[in-house]
Chain A
Amino acid sequence: MNALLRGCTVLACLGLGLGLAWSMLELPPAPIQMPGLVASHMDQSGVDHPVTAVLLNFRGYDTLLEVAVLLLALLGMLAAGTTPLHASSFKEAPMLTALARALTPIAVLVAGYLLWAGAFKPGGAFQAAAVLAGAAVLLRIAGLLPSWTTPADGLRLALAAGLLVFLGVAASGLALGGLLAYPPEWAGTLILLIETSLTVSLALILAGLFLAGPDSRPPEEQS
């Protein structure tokens, strides 16, 4: 790319930034105020934390599609092809192994807490799953967890279970008048059901994005 084009790109980005910043300065207050609207519906949402209520109830459909997006990332990776990753590709490291062994139970505990806490304070399935997946990555690096190239039957079921449960709950809402409609008295239980199954599946998907990673070593080292 030549210097002139680079200069123009820099100028365009600069102009866009200045324009955006300027346009925000004198905005009048928004005509629709969502905080009040959300607060007035909290008692029907089944949870006590407004973000969780928006995420899993008011705008639960976004979350449903987003779980599919995450599963798709793994599918795309499998479609492009993976090659087996050897347990020995990471050097023996006694400290790392000990650390992984010590941290994993704590990670499981923290994930459980985050899942439970999501109902009334920041937390929830995604946070819990991220912690679990982090533990899996650590175990993998320490050589304590095997990698896989194509998920076996049971693993595929576990990877997709969260989405399947979510879809099932969403569809049963149709009986009540709308996709994803929960009866207020059942909303808390249903959200917990969705969040729990999502935690397992999302943790496996996130971990899978690392564990199923293609091997970057030259082929002669592969046996």
Chain B
Amino acid sequence: MSAWLDPVPWLILLPLIWATLAFILGPRRGGRLAMAGLAIQLGLAVYLATQMMATGPRVHSLGGWGAPLGIDLLADGLAVAMLLLTQIAALPLVIYARAYFSASSTASAPQWEGAPRRMVPSDQFWPLTGFLLAALNALFLSADLFNLYVTLELLTLAAVGLVALGGKPSQVVAALRYLLVSLAASGAYLMGVALIYGTYGTVSIAHLTPLIGTQPPPAIWLAGGLMMTGLLAKTALFPFHFWLPPAHGGAAAPVSALLSALVVKASFYLVLRLLLEPLAPMAEAVSWLLGLLGAAAILWGSWQALATRHLKRLVAWSTVAQLGYLFLIFPLLAPDGLALQAGVMQAVSHGLAKAAMFTAVGVLMLATGRDTLDGLAGVAGRLPLTIFALGLAGVTLMGLPPSGGFLAKWLLIDAALGQGQWPWLIIIIGGGLLTAAYVFQVLRQSFLTAPESTHFQPVPRSMEWTAFMLAAASVLLGLRGVEWIELLAVV
């Protein structure tokens, strides 16, 4: 087959091209370009998935050199599962963002004292989003530790730019904190790469896995520890979660959705990939620690979500909690693959549900003009579709059947029981109950009667529908998720 038609490089090239073109077109332009680009990317990802199911994993040697001289891209089941999630979640978000920015600039442009002149929050949204998606696709496909460092930095800078979008002082503070944490984390990761290159003379994952073997020297343990710590900080796993709520809770709604649904998953994916392949000898030593941190994240994140009175903060804290589930899989990883399937199912269903939740909350905030739970009174009557979307997304987060979240938790419980590790059940079920508590808090508030004076801004229908579609997808995933899981068998 001709390399022209190989979807692997195009999944990285396309978003880079449309992001660059969107920048050249100018501020606020490029929305249509983004939608067209993403539609093609989605097609490519589906095509790649079907192709891969038939013929096995795909390697694309950049420049035709091949590792270890050149850099290889690798599309295996895990990578393609994440690629599918990225394109599927991003397409509705882009449609939503177009409506969101036109609505929020015509309604009440978020102005504050000392706002720079001629600044609109959507100014650089399209190119930043394009580079963000390019970074995600490049990261999922990369099979080279140093190249992964570059993709991580690309991702960080795009995400920080998106958090700062609009330049509100609180956003700039959150963006700066996020940037500094990310940079320290990247530094630790790079140090690990330096040690690995020094020890083995290569950074190609495929070459490293047999070289590291089962008895690596101390330098590799230190390298692994540094890389893992850096990646956990980027994933915002408890106790590194402190930067996430202000960054995700303060950004524009489509940005929060992109960050919570996709960006934090990227570094989780790397932790998983590294512990499954080159750093496998470390996995046993750290898996319990990761599981315990995950459990702490579930409890602490849910508790904070329950305590806050701000809508977006609530959803952001819920991300902290839901990320915890992803790390519960590590003590349960076994050859039967159940825990791995649970992890990917949780990443995908949380990605879709959290995108739905942030978009729905964005609708509510635009309608009420406020970011508090108390401001929600009466919205259920005015925006039933959005509240329905919020409820459906909540069903997925709680893990009720038939949602994708249910499938994920069911697989996780299955894995835990199969290995006799029943204490994790308490965390899984307890976390579900806490999730139910904070989701119902939002729903209850929205069904209260609004005071007479309440005025609701009109909200574009397309925003409500995209939120609903994302939520519905996260629930229906439970019915069709098996096919997604089958992808993982391709290694």
The answer to whether A and B assemble together is yes
- Which residues of A line the B interface, CB within 8 A? 16, 19-20, 22-24, 26-27, 30-34, 37-38, 41, 57-62, 65-66, 68-69, 71-73, 75-84, 149-150, 153, 156-157, 159-160, 163-164, 167, 170-171, 173-182, 214, 219
Given contacts A22-B218, A72-B161, A75-B124, could you give 16 more A-B pairs where the C-beta distance is less than 8 Å? A30-B199, A30-B202, A61-B71, A71-B131, A73-B157, A75-B23, A75-B161, A76-B161, A78-B123, A79-B161, A79-B167, A81-B166, A83-B117, A156-B24, A174-B4, A180-B63
Cα-based distance from A26 to B199 in the complex (angstroms): 10
Which residues in B have their C-beta under 8 angstroms from that of A175? 2-4
Of A16, A62, A156, A177, the contact of B3 (CB 8 Å cutoff) = A177
B residues 127-150 touching A (CB-CB < 8 Å): 127-128, 131, 134-135, 138, 146-147, 150
Count of interface residues, chain B, beta-carbon cutoff 8 Å: 72
Q: Is the CB of A69 within 8 A of B68?
A: no
Distance between A65 CB and nearest chain B CB, rounded to angstroms: 5
Pull 29 A–B residue pairs with CB atoms less than 8 Å apart, ordered by A: A24-B195, A27-B198, A30-B200, A30-B201, A30-B202, A32-B201, A41-B65, A60-B63, A62-B71, A62-B147, A65-B151, A68-B154, A69-B153, A72-B157, A75-B124, A76-B158, A79-B123, A79-B125, A79-B165, A80-B175, A83-B116, A149-B116, A163-B16, A171-B13, A177-B64, A178-B9, A178-B61, A179-B3, A180-B62
Q: Is the CB of A69 within 8 A of B3?
A: no
B285: Cβ under 8 A from any A Cβ: no
Known: A30-B198, A69-B154, A69-B157. A58 touches B70 (CB 8 A): yes
Q: Is the CB of B158 within 8 A of A72?
A: yes
Q: Is the CB of A76 within 8 A of B164?
A: yes
Q: Is the CB of B218 within 8 A of A76?
A: no
Q: Is the CB of A170 within 8 A of B4?
A: no
Closest to A215 in B: B116
Distance between A172 CB and nearest chain B CB, rounded to angstroms: 10
Of B13, B147, B164, B202, the contact of A79 (CB 8 Å cutoff) = B164
Which residues in B have their C-beta under 8 angstroms from that of A149? 116, 118
Q: Is the CB of B167 within 8 A of A81?
A: yes
Of A26, A37, A163, A177, the contact of B68 (CB 8 Å cutoff) = A37
B429: Cβ under 8 A from any A Cβ: no
Closest to B19 in A: A68
Distance between B227 CB and nearest chain A CB, rounded to angstroms: 13
B69: Cβ under 8 A from any A Cβ: yes
Which residues in A have their C-beta under 8 angstroms from that of B17? 164, 167, 171
Tell me what chain A mostly uses at the interface: helix, strand, loop, or mixed.
helix
Distance between B111 CB and nearest chain A CB, rounded to angstroms: 12
Known: A30-B199, A76-B164, A83-B116. A23 touches B62 (CB 8 A): no
Cα-based distance from A81 to B153 in the complex (angstroms): 21
Distance between B442 CB and nearest chain A CB, rounded to angstroms: 30
B114: Cβ under 8 A from any A Cβ: yes
Name the residue in B20, B61, B134, B221 with the highest tally of chain A Cβ atoms < 10 Å from its Cβ.
B20
Known: A81-B119, A179-B62. A160 touches B154 (CB 8 A): no
Cα-based distance from A62 to B117 in the complex (angstroms): 37
Q: Is the CB of A75 within 8 A of B131?
A: yes
Known: A68-B131, A69-B157. A32 touches B202 (CB 8 A): yes
Q: Is the CB of B166 within 8 A of A167?
A: no
Q: Is the CB of A23 within 8 A of B202?
A: no
5 interchain residue pairs of minimum CB distance = A76-B161, A81-B167, A30-B201, A32-B201, A80-B164
Q: Is the CB of B164 within 8 A of A71?
A: no
Of A79, A82, A173, the contact of B162 (CB 8 Å cutoff) = A79
Cα-based distance from A174 to B380 in the complex (angstroms): 53
Cα-based distance from A59 to B3 in the complex (angstroms): 19
Of B70, B114, B175, B221, the contact of A219 (CB 8 Å cutoff) = B114
Distance between B16 CB and nearest chain A CB, rounded to angstroms: 6
B177: Cβ under 8 A from any A Cβ: no
Q: Is the CB of A62 within 8 A of B68?
A: no
Q: Is the CB of A75 within 8 A of B128?
A: yes
Of A16, A60, A72, the contact of B62 (CB 8 Å cutoff) = A60
Cα-based distance from A38 to B69 in the complex (angstroms): 7
Contact with A along B105-118 (1 / 0, CB 8 A): 00000000011111
B27: Cβ under 8 A from any A Cβ: yes
B residues 29-81 touching A (CB-CB < 8 Å): 60-65, 68-71
Which residues in B have their C-beta under 8 angstroms from that of A81? 115-116, 119, 166-167
Which residues in B have their C-beta under 8 angstroms from that of A23? 195, 217-219, 221-222
Q: Is the CB of A157 within 8 A of B24?
A: yes
Which residues in B have their C-beta under 8 angstroms from that of A62? 71, 146-147, 150
Contact with A along B190-214 (1 / 0, CB 8 A): 0100010011111000010001000
B239: Cβ under 8 A from any A Cβ: no
Closest to A77 in B: B161
Which residues in B have their C-beta under 8 angstroms from that of A41? 65, 69
Which residues in A have their C-beta under 8 angstroms from that of B116? 81-83, 149, 214
Name the residue in A20, A32, A41 with the highest tally of chain B Cβ atoms < 10 Å from its Cβ.
A32
Closest to B127 in A: A75
Closest to B114 in A: A219
Cα-based distance from A219 to B114 in the complex (angstroms): 8
Of B6, B16, B117, B131, the contact of A174 (CB 8 Å cutoff) = B6
Known: A22-B218, A62-B150, A72-B131. A176 touches B64 (CB 8 A): yes
Cα-based distance from A177 to B117 in the complex (angstroms): 49
Q: Is the CB of B70 within 8 A of A34?
A: no
Contact with A along B442-465 (1 / 0, CB 8 A): 000000000000000000000000
Q: Is the CB of B62 within 8 A of A178?
A: yes
Which residues in B have their C-beta under 8 angstroms from that of A171? 13, 17
Distance between B471 CB and nearest chain A CB, rounded to angstroms: 29
